[in-house]
Every structure is written in structure tokens, then in C-alpha cells.
A and B are shown apart, each in its own frame.
Chain A
Amino acid sequence: MRDWLSGTLSAEQWLIIILAIVVLLLFVLFFVVYAIYFQRKILGWMQGRVGPNRVGPFGLLQTVADTLKSLLKEPVIPKHVDRPLYFLAPFVAFAPSFIVLAVIPFSPQVTYTDLSVGFLFYVAIASISTLGVIMGGWSSNNKWSLIGAMRAAAMMISYEIPLVMGALGVVLLAGSLNLNDIVAWQEQHVWNVIPQILGFAVFFIAALAELNRTPFDLSEAESELVAGYQVEYSGIRFAFFMLSEYVYLFAMGSLVTVLFFGGWLPPHPALGFIPGIIWFLLKALFFANLPFWFQATFPRARVDLLMTFSWKVLIPLALVNLVITAFVKAFLA
């Protein structure tokens, strides 16, 4: 990357850059289409229903049909919206979700950037999505969407702190914020989930809140807020909000894999003949689909307990984890 910045870019390099981005985008879109299918199938299975089974074999084309439908739908724009912000919001919400994938090391060969502050980059860029949510909620000029946006913003900001602090133990162990270095450290030692089990618990709970998934889906809360900040959106703009949500699922699954489950590393060196990218995708897809399981299992948390839980339970736990890790690293290792 850095040498591309200092040199002149040839047409070939431009082509490679654009091609690499397009391949990632296509993969992510494919993931989103089938994540929605799996979500509906898993929910159906856990609730004793069949799930989508009409379009294509096993209903495999259901989401494709749904996507086409929302793309072709007439865009309904309410009269009293704040137009510039209303049009901009879906893109501000979506763009960061795709940009954060740039720092994820998918395998030793497939790495888009090698940023020295990769982990912080993820957190910083992901926080911009909050702006998109607020933008959408405010510009819709609707009380449900405004309440939903305020809830989402408050929750995303307060859960960002335990999210970062939960992962600080990993950073401390590896001595680097670079996600490649963190995987390399795990290659020499053990997967971080073993020494950092407490950090992992805090991180994963905070990640669920960041993703607005059950039990923290208060910003959508379809039974009380209709659909939160997205309520005035329809057609392709609504699709962008949904897209952003599901891309974040994949991104967060990838981040959990990299930080705590050894990234592209196989569970045992003897299984190293299977390429790293396969291991990475297996783990990342597992963690990306885990929230669907939770969605069918947990009720929604109460809004007044939400902030208390973050500030009085998760943050102290993360601090304890951090102090123990620092102590072990300084005196025992």
C-alpha cells in the first residue's frame, strides 16, 4: 500500500486494486444473501417451522427474489423528510461496514492492508456508522425513528468502551495493534480465547450490542418502535441499511476470529494441509451466524438495564481482565 502511495500507479495496478475490491464486495454480497437465508432457516427450525422453501430448491433463491423486489420497488419518500440527510444516511451507514473489512487478514495471502493500528482502525471506522443511523433517524422526521436512532447511538457509544477494553488484553499479550501480528502471536503460543476467556466474553457481549442483535436489538424493537430508525425508508435505501447490518455481522465474526480464535490458523498443526482461508471462513461464518441462534433463544433486554449492564458489569470485568493480563505478562512470563 505504502509504496503504491509514493509511486506512480500504472494502469495494471489500478486494475488490480479495483478487481480486488470488486471481488471482496461480491463475496460480501453473496454472504449477506445467504446469511439472511440461514437466519430465516435457523429461526424457523428452532421455532418448529419450515422457513423459506418456495423459491428455488430448498428456498435457496428466496433472498435473491427479495433483493430483486426491494431494488425494483418504488422509492417512497415521505413529504417532511430532511432530503439531503435522508438520501445520504443509508450510504453513510453502509460504507464503513465495507471499509472495515480492509484491515481483516483473511489468510497470509489474502490481506488487503497491513496497518500498524489495524484494530483501532476497525473500531474507529465502525463508529462512523452511528452517524448514519442518527442521520437516518433524524432526517426521517418521525418520532419512532428518532427514538430508535437515539437508542442506537447511545447503545453503540457506551458498548464501544467494553468492546475495546475486552480486546485490550489480546493487544497486551501480542504487543501490537496490528491484526496480522496478533494472528502471528497466536501461531507461536495458543489461541487467545484460552488465556483471554474473560476478555472474549466481554468482547462478544459488547459486539452483540454493537451489531444491534438480540438481546440488544432495542433500536429496532419491532413490537414497540415499529422498526426504529429505518421506519421511513423503503426500497433500495432500506436495503442499504439491511446490507450494512449484515456486512457488520461478517466483519464482527472476522474480528472475533482474528482476535481470539487464531484467524487463519488450523486448530491443530496437523490439519495445516487445508488452506488458511478455509479455516478463516469456517470460524468467521460460525461467529457471524451465532447471533441468529441467540435471536431465537433470548428475549430482548430491558432498556433501563442496558446502560447499567455496560457500565457496571462489562467495563469492570474488562478492567479486571486487563489488570490480570498485565500482571501475568509483567511478572510471570
Chain B
Amino acid sequence: MKLAWQNIVHDRARFSVTVLGVSFAVFLMVFQGSLLVGFLRAASRLIDSSDSDIWITARGVQAFEFGTPIEGRVREMAAGVPGVLETSRVCMAFAVYRTPNGKQQVVALVGADRNVGTRFPVPGASGSAEGTPDAVFYDVSDRDLIQVTAMPAEVEVNRHRASIERQIKGYGAFLGVPFLFTSYRNASRYMGAGPEEAMFVLLRVDKGYSTSDVLQNLRQRLPEVDVLTRDEFARKSRSYWTIKTGAGGAILTAAVLGFLIGLVVVSQTIYANTMENIEEYATLKALGASQAFVARIVLTQALICGVVGSILGLLAVVPMIGYAKSLIPWIYTPWWLLLFMVVPSLAMCSLASIASVRSALTVEPGRVFRA
């Protein structure tokens, strides 16, 4: 396969164009993939952060951000179902936040009981500071919107006094509206909700019971609400944001477009490269090269371009995503995405070389006698 490598080295300009095409496609695919993964992750981030096994929501609630109140008795009835170890409440509503310097900002106010989970950002939850009764947390990426210079800072939420006491990480604005986290008691007060009302009732199942049995039991007893496992509700929420709003589809389309643009660029350059060397393929065949030998040369060239282009694309996209995090806090690149993207890029190069392989294989060896 020295010929494959030497052909590439010999025509560096063409090789560069091919590699650039692959890099561009890999860059786009990884970037869009990171947007998609980050978007999916952000769409269910708060649900995933709870320690609960089961979520109860009002009937037809599509996503965490669109919860509607459910009666307090639902929680009491759920607590009485065999196998339910513990209940907690979460609520979320849009509220008006007044910054320390008097500006107003719409925020997504999230309140939760302390026992909702250790990873859930709520004042007083384990691992989290107790704070004052009015304590509110916000994500560091929303600093510019929250406009707090020092903590604690006295602010207003829906004309109620609140105290910004801590910055957290990883729960940045997902809808362009910053989250504020506080206790359930505070949140229901800010929202003007009754003390027993909840938007989401979360349940932990006793170890001795099967979650699916408890779920079935709850569904029978509480037909007026939706009873879902945590994963089901997370999936429902992700599905809403990605499919029903079209946002995920747009991101996915951009990723696919990146692949297709890369495919076209790479196909054209690999094809042009093959056609430029078509006389050499004819010579190879005249000298006794098998079809497999000829195909291997074209494919090897394409795969070398794919590997080099992928590496360069990844080297370019990683720092770019790092920079993009300051603008899109929820963008997220899991390590597997980087590895996973090598597969479509190599597939892209192989696909792109199909036309070239065909041309190289069908060239008449008899043309070698044409001067």
C-alpha cells in the first residue's frame, strides 16, 4: 500500500483539500452533536438530579418547565401506597426577578423540598449550605443576567424579599431564562401557591418493593394524574424539547448537513484524485493487479484522509467548544462523542470513495497502449 500513501504525499495540495473537507465535516458533526447532547442533557437535568424513583405530575405535563399544580391530597394518597418510602415536592414557575440595581428579569423559579436529592440544587439539601430562610441559588453562567456583585445580595422575586447566597454550576439557563433555586416553602410563597399544593410529587420506593409494582398501584389509585418513573419523565421532557419544539430536529439536521457537506467535498476530491491517476490504475490492471488490490489503494487513500481529517477536526473542535461554553453553557461533549464521530467520518470517506473505486475498477487495462 506504499503506492496509496505515496500518491497522497506526492499531491499535498489535493490531500490538504480532502483533509480540510473531512475536518470541516467532523468539526460540524462534533459541534452539532455536542449541542444536541447538551440540549438533551439540559432538557432533563433537574429531573435526573433528583434521587426519586417516581415522579407524579398533572395530567399531560410534557416537560419539567411546564408543570401545573396538583392537589395536595395526591401527595397524601401517594404516601399511603405500600412501598412508598418517602415523598418530596418540586415546583417551577416563571417569576419576575428584580436585580439589586432595580432592573427586572424573568426567571425560572425552582423550589424543592430538602429531601429531593443530594444533587438537586436546593438550599439545605445535603451537601448544600443551609442559608437563611430566604436563601436563593443561581448558576454562575447566569451571572450577567442575575447581576449580583457580592453575596449575600438582597433582591426581589415576585415582589418578595429574597437573598442570593450562592453560585452553583451546571444548571445554567436552558431557555434563555436563568434558573433560581430555593426551598419549596419559599418558592410556593413567591408563586402565591397554597402550602400543600405541588407541581411535582416525587417518591422514593422502599428497597423491598419493586418500582414497577408501586408504579402500577399508584396509577390505579391516582388516575387523575400522570405517574412516571424518573427516567420516563426525563425521556418525555427530552422528547418534548427535541422533537415537539423542533429545536432538537434543527440541531440534528445541522449535524446531518455537516456530514453531507463533508461527504460531497470528500467525494469530489477523492474522485478527482482517482480520475487524475486513472491511467496509473489502468497500468496496474494491465500489469496484473487484482480488482481487490486496486480497490484497496483507493480505499486506503480515502481512509488516510479520513483519519488525518478526523484528528484535525477533533483538535479544532475541542477548544472551540470550550470557548462556546461561555455563550452556550449547556453545550456538552461526552468523551464517547469524540470517539463516535470517527466512525461516521471514516464511513464518509469510504462512501465518498465508492464512485472512485468504481471508476478505478472499470477502467480498461487496454488503454495502456494509448500514448
Asked if A and B are interacting partners, one says no
Which positions in B face A, CB cutoff 8 Å?
A: none
Which positions in A face B, CB cutoff 8 Å?
A: none
